[in-house]
């Protein structure tokens, strides 16, 4: 699982790739349509798409002469579960903690 998680986070580390994923939230897109808003070559976009595909974040398929990209949202599940683990801690209630210390240590402190 660690290798898959590393691959997903590495793919998500790039702002261009995150933008591509956001674009694919709407619908499947042809590679040329994905490339359109970016000021980079089609070859550079293809490299980004390859990284997203290797991470399992998107799939690509050829329909006729056109290559299409599709978001694979289930592939984010592992990363999401991992990140949610950090949200499990309750914020510390300092007043309650102080009351606990007073009752445990006496009122000297």
Q: Which helix (H) or strand (E) holds 103?
A: helix 94-105
Confidence grade of residue 109 (pLDDT, cut at 50, 70, 90): very low
Topology of 2-105 in CATH? Arc Repressor Mutant, subunit A (1.10.10)
The DSSP symbol for 6 reads H
Provide the residue ranges of all domains of the chain, joining segments of one domain with +.
2-105
Q: Residue 89's pLDDT band (boundaries 50, 70, 90)? A: low
User: What are the pLDDT digits (tens) for 20-72?
Assistant: 999 999 999 999 999 999 999 999 999 999 999 999 999 999 999 999 999 99
């Amino acid at each position: 699982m660690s290798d898959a998680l590393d691959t997903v986070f590495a793919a998500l580390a790039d702002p261009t790739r995150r933008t591509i994923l956001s674009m694919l939230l709407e619908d499947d897109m042809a590679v040329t349509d994905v490339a359109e808003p970016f000021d980079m070559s089609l070859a550079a976009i293809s490299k980004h798409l390859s990284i997203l595909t290797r991470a399992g974040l998107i799939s690509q398929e050829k329909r006729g002469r056109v290559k299409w990209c599709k978001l694979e949202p289930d592939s984010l599940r592992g990363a999401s579960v991992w990140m949610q683990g950090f949200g499990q801690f309750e914020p510390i209630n300092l007043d309650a903690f102080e009351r606990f210390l007073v009752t445990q240590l006496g009122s000297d402190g």
